[in-house]
């Protein structure tokens, strides 16, 4: 072993911990650990293997250091992030860029040297007085061509405990594999703590070095900024996928049951907090993953895996009526972390849980009582809008067996959905792959939510629900999607959904459970078992098919009046959308494939033709 590396490690690590590292037989990893041990300067270093003893140690540390507090339900704990650390910090998340390399204005970047100097400055001695934990994980199932190994350095036992729930262990796999390079590396520090939360949030940074596959995260605890394997790894994976010819997506993976025991696999991309988790969790179907998927081609088909093995989900509105399965897990013993909820007498409360909120308790603002206000005199809710739960998928009885299948599942349908109050119909099918990639996926917009810091309810462009995580130019990313279906025997069908369409009085037109019907319709379409009506934006369901499905699936009567309102083609809104998207691609972004403009233009012409024939708003019967 390199002498300098050994000296640094010997100073901070016990012999036992050094042995755990050297057993991996990977000098590059050792060097990486030593480099950041020296820079961050923790009091000691603990190496976590896949061993139950090590895992238990981290779980206990989180409690001991009050990063988590035990709740009255056995195995459950609560974690609080600071008042100003309740979502992903898009503003301070930046990619290192080499001068002269143009990625386009949508990608937040910082000059590489400048960024490296800034982050080194912030990391210097940041772990003084703390222990640094080193841990290994595998993204995707182990022993698979999807597997990517990752190493996480952090001073937060909460971060590691969360990762333990959410990701597959990697220590033994790495030892066996003998692979020396290609690891994703994450360096995180919560920084100085005050009342157990990151104090210096002004120095919160998430800096991404795609050339070296390293992400740094400082002065933050919120999981979306700190859990290396989640959105930080997604950013690295998008770049790796681009080089290797596969896709890394912000997508769920699920199985939908069709007639005669047919099983059809879907993936779905929705921006945060737009119904992604609740779609793959619907009654009657099976979940494989709720957030991040890798897609690869094999035997001229597309296969997908869940990169994770758990859910870091939004807890708001989880109640026995709307989300029974999650509710059940959260109300039973098990290894679960809830965050940024209200705690009263050891019990967790959150918004939309169907129970009266206690008048006081502990939450992310410290001691809380009804009427408490923040710095700007705004009332503080008992639980945050973006409060979360962290659970293992295997704790759910609807978890699909294929979760750990190294081959993944064959993808037949891909769904794109945003939060859109006035434009898209609740469900529709693209004409073909290219139309789907351009007019659905690359035209996705969504009204903002609490999952990222900033104002809610503003319409934002978010292609493939992946914009925030893109580490390659947008044009290239779209081209990769266009190319992905080339030469396939079975091209997945691309669908659009919108659970948030409203009538002119601002009332939602769909019920919470209607997505179960939309899924069944899409399943039938894939196998040519339902008809459709051709419209300028794609193909929409026929009333009679939906009426039958509503009866079968939800046991409700679906009226033609509602159908016409929901599936009315809103031409002015759709034309405005095309204008917005067209302009965006024309002005801001480099190297956009010609196909984008051609498909958008085609859609515009179809909409205009229908408008001049019938008018602004066209109900399906008129088509
Ligand atoms: C999301 O907001 O899309 C999430 C949670 O899945 S996180 O990205 O971790 O903030
Ligand atoms: Mn997500």
Model pLDDT for residues 603-612, shown as the tens digit of each residue: 999 999 999 9
Model pLDDT for residues 138-148, shown as the tens digit of each residue: 999 999 999 99
Residue nearest to atom 9 of ligand 1 (CA): 224
Residue nearest to atom 5 of ligand 1 (CA): 224
Residues 6+ apart with CB under 8 A from 133: 45, 46, 47, 48, 58, 152, 153, 154, 155, 156, 157, 160
Our answer on whether the CB atom of 276 is closer than 6 Å to any ligand 1 atom is no
Mean pLDDT value of segment 185-201: 97
Of 244, 264, 288, the residue that ends a domain is: 244
Examine the pLDDT at 27 and tell me if it is beyond 90: yes
Residue 430 maps to a domain: yes
Examine the pLDDT at 170 and tell me if it is beyond 70: yes
| CATH number of the domain to which 62 belongs | 3.40.449.10
Q: Is residue 24 within 8 Å of residue 178, measured between CB atoms?
A: no
Q: Is residue 47 within 8 Å of residue 160, measured between CB atoms?
A: no
How far apart CA 516 and CA 273 sit, in angstroms, is 18
Q: Which helix (H) or strand (E) holds 581?
A: helix 571-587
Q: What is the DSSP string of 64-96?
A: HTTSSEE-SSTTEEEE---TT-SSB-STTEEEE
Do 566 and 439 fall within a single domain? yes
Do 235 and 255 fall within a single domain? no
Banded pLDDT at 453 (limits 50, 70, 90): confident
User: How far, rounded to the nearest angstrom, does the alpha carbon of residue 248 sit from its chain's CA centroid?
Assistant: 11
- Find, among 440, 337, 447, the residue nearest to 395 by Cα: 337
Our answer on whether the CB atom of 88 is closer than 6 Å to any ligand 1 atom is yes
Residue 380 maps to a domain: no
Do 470 and 430 fall within a single domain? yes
Q: What is the pLDDT of residue 361?
A: 98
Residue 257 maps to a domain: yes
Ligand 1 atom nearest to CA at 290: 6
Ligand 1 atom nearest to CA at 87: 10
Residues 6+ apart with CB under 8 A from 506: 421
Residue nearest to atom 4 of ligand 1 (CA): 272
Our answer on whether the CB atom of 272 is closer than 6 Å to any ligand 1 atom is yes
Average the pLDDT over each of 96-100, 225-229, 550-554 and give the range with the smallest value. 96-100
Instruction: Please give the structure tokens belonging to residue 5.
Output: 């590396």
Ligand 1 atom nearest to CA at 451: 2
Do 278 and 225 fall within a single domain? no
How far apart CA 112 and CA 207 sit, in angstroms, is 10
Our answer on whether the CB atom of 451 is closer than 6 Å to any ligand 1 atom is yes
Model pLDDT for residues 388-439, shown as the tens digit of each residue: 999 999 999 999 999 999 999 999 999 999 999 999 999 999 999 999 999 9
Our answer on whether the CB atom of 223 is closer than 6 Å to any ligand 1 atom is yes
Our answer on whether the CB atom of 468 is closer than 6 Å to any ligand 1 atom is no
Do 128 and 190 fall within a single domain? yes
Helix, strand or coil, per DSSP, at residue 150: strand
Do 195 and 275 fall within a single domain? no
Banded pLDDT at 451 (limits 50, 70, 90): low
Q: Which domain holds residue 193?
A: 3-68+89-244
Which ligand lies nearest the alpha carbon of 250? 2
Examine the pLDDT at 576 and tell me if it is beyond 90: yes
Of 225, 244, 263, the residue that ends a domain is: 244
Give the pairing of strands 617-618 and 197-198. unpaired
Residues 6+ apart with CB under 8 A from 489: 299, 300, 301
Examine the pLDDT at 179 and tell me if it is beyond 80: no
Do 450 and 596 fall within a single domain? yes
How far apart CA 322 and CA 324 sit, in angstroms, is 6
Residue 384 maps to a domain: no
Our answer on whether the CB atom of 240 is closer than 6 Å to any ligand 1 atom is no
Do 169 and 284 fall within a single domain? no
Report how far ligand 2's centroid is from the alpha carbon of 267 (Å): 13
Helix, strand or coil, per DSSP, at residue 589: coil
How far apart CA 609 and CA 566 sit, in angstroms, is 21
Do 267 and 159 fall within a single domain? no
Do 448 and 563 fall within a single domain? yes
Q: Is residue 238 within 8 Å of residue 289, measured between CB atoms?
A: no
Q: What is the pLDDT of residue 395?
A: 96
Examine the pLDDT at 587 and tell me if it is beyond 90: no
Q: What is the pLDDT of residue 225?
A: 97
What is the distance in angstroms between the CA of the first residue and the CA of the last residue of the chain?
73
Our answer on whether the CB atom of 388 is closer than 6 Å to any ligand 1 atom is no
Angle, to 10 degrees, between the axis of helix 594-613 and the axis of helix 571-587?
160
Report how far ligand 1's centroid is from the alpha carbon of 451 (Å): 7
Do 276 and 186 fall within a single domain? no
Residue 281 maps to a domain: yes
The residues pairing with 159 across neighbouring beta strands, listed in sequence order, are none
Instruction: Please give the structure tokens belonging to residue 529.
Output: 């078992």
Report how far ligand 2's centroid is from the alpha carbon of 342 (Å): 23
Q: What is the pLDDT of residue 452?
A: 67
Q: What is the pLDDT of residue 368?
A: 97
- Write out the catalytic residue numbers: 274
Model pLDDT for residues 308-362, shown as the tens digit of each residue: 999 999 999 999 998 999 999 999 999 999 999 999 999 999 999 999 999 999 9
Number of domains in the chain: 2
Residue 254 maps to a domain: yes
Examine the pLDDT at 455 and tell me if it is beyond 80: no
If one residue of 86, 308, 312 were mutated to test the ligand 1 pocket, choosing by the most ligand atoms within 8 A of its CB, it would be 312
H-state helical runs in 356-471: 433-435
Residue 199 maps to a domain: yes
| CATH number of the domain to which 598 belongs | 3.90.228.20
How far apart CA 110 and CA 115 sit, in angstroms, is 6
Ligand 1 atom nearest to CA at 250: 3
Residue 343 maps to a domain: no
Instruction: Please give the structure tokens belonging to residue 317.
Output: 């509105």
Our answer on whether the CB atom of 291 is closer than 6 Å to any ligand 1 atom is yes
Do 285 and 232 fall within a single domain? no
Average pLDDT of the chain is 96
- Find, among 272, 519, 283, 500, the residue nearest to 412 by Cα: 519
Of 244, 263, 292, the residue that ends a domain is: 244
Report how far ligand 1's centroid is from the alpha carbon of 253 (Å): 16
What percentage of the chain reaches a pLDDT higher than 90?
A: 92
Mean pLDDT value of segment 16-29: 95
Model pLDDT for residues 208-259, shown as the tens digit of each residue: 999 999 999 999 999 999 999 999 999 999 999 999 999 999 999 999 999 9
Does the pTM surpass 0.85? The reply is: yes
Q: What is the pLDDT of residue 474?
A: 94
Examine the pLDDT at 1 and tell me if it is beyond 90: no
Q: What is the pLDDT of residue 591?
A: 87
Q: How far is CA 366 from CA 171, 203, 226, 602, in A?
A: 37, 22, 21, 55
If one residue of 165, 230, 290 were mutated to test the ligand 1 pocket, choosing by the most ligand atoms within 8 A of its CB, it would be 230
Model pLDDT for residues 513-526, shown as the tens digit of each residue: 999 999 999 999 99
């Amino acid at each position: 072993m390199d002498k300098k590396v050994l000296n640094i490690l010997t100073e901070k690590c016990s012999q036992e911990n050094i042995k755990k590292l050297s057993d991996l037989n990977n000098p590059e990893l050792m060097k990486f650990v030593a480099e950041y041990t020296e820079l961050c300067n923790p009091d000691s270093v603990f190496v976590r293997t896949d061993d139950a003893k090590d895992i238990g140690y981290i779980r206990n540390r989180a409690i001991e250091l009050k990063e988590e507090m035990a709740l009255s339900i056995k195995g459950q704990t609560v974690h609080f992030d600071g008042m100003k650390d309740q979502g992903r910090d898009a503003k301070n998340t930046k990619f290192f860029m080499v001068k002269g390399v143009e990625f386009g204005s949508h990608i937040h970047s910082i000059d590489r040297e400048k960024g490296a100097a800034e982050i080194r400055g912030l990391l210097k001695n940041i772990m003084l007085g703390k222990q640094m934990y080193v841990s290994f994980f595998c993204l995707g199932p182990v022993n698979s061509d999807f597997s990517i190994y990752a190493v996480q350095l952090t001073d937060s036992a909460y971060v590691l405990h969360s990762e333990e729930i959410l990701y597959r262990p990697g220590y033994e796999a790495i030892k066996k594999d003998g692979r020396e390079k290609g690891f994703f590396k994450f360096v995180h520090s919560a920084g100085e703590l005050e009342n157990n939360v990151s104090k210096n949030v002004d120095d919160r940074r998430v800096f991404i070095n795609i050339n070296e596959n390293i992400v740094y995260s400082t002065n933050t605890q919120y999981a979306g900024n700190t859990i290396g394997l989640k959105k930080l790894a997604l950013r690295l994976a998008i770049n790796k996928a681009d080089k290797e010819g596969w896709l890394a997506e912000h997508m769920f993976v699920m199985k939908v049951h069709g007639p005669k025991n047919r099983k059809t696999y879907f993936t779905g991309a929705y921006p945060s907090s737009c119904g992604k988790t609740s779609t793959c969790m619907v009654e009657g179907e099976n979940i494989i993953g709720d957030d991040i998927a890798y897609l690869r081609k094999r035997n001229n088909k597309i296969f997908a895996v869940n990169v994770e093995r758990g859910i870091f989900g939004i807890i708001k509105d989880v109640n026995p009526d709307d989300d029974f399965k999650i509710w059940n897990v959260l109300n039973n013993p098990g290894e679960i972390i809830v965050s940024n909820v209200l705690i009263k007498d050891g019990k967790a409360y959150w918004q939309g849980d169907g129970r009266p909120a206690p008048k006081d308790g502990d939450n992310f603002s410290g001691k809380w009582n009804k009427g408490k206000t923040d710095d700007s005199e705004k009332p503080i809710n008992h639980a945050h809008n973006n409060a979360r739960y962290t659970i293992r998928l295997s704790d759910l009885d609807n978890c699909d067996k294929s979760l750990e299948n190294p081959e993944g599942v064959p993808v037949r349908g891909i769904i794109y959905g945003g939060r859109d109050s006035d434009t898209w119909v609740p469900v529709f099918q693209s004409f073909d792959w290219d139309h789907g990639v351009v007019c659905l996926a690359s035209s996705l917009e969504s009204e903002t939510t609490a999952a990222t810091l900033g104002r809610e309810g503003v319409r934002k462009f978010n292609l493939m629900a992946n914009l925030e995580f893109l580490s390659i130019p947008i044009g290239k990313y779209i081209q990769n999607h266009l190319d992905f279906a080339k030469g396939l025997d079975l091209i997945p069908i691309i669908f659009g959904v919108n659970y948030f369409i409203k009538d002119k009085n601002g009332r939602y037109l769909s019920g919470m459970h209607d997505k179960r019907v939309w899924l069944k319709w899409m399943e039938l379409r894939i196998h040519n078992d339902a008809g459709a009506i051709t419209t300028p934006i794609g193909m929409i369901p026929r009333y009679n098919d939906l009426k039958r499905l509503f009866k079968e699936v939800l046991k409700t009567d679906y009226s033609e009046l509602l159908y016409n309102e929901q599936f009315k083609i809103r031409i002015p809104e759709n034309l405005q959308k095309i204008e917005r998207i067209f302009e965006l691609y024309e002005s801001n972004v480099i190297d956009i494939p010609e196909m984008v403009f051609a498909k958008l233009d085609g859609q515009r012409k179809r909409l205009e033709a229908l408008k001049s024939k019938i008018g602004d708003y066209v109900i399906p019967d008129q088509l």
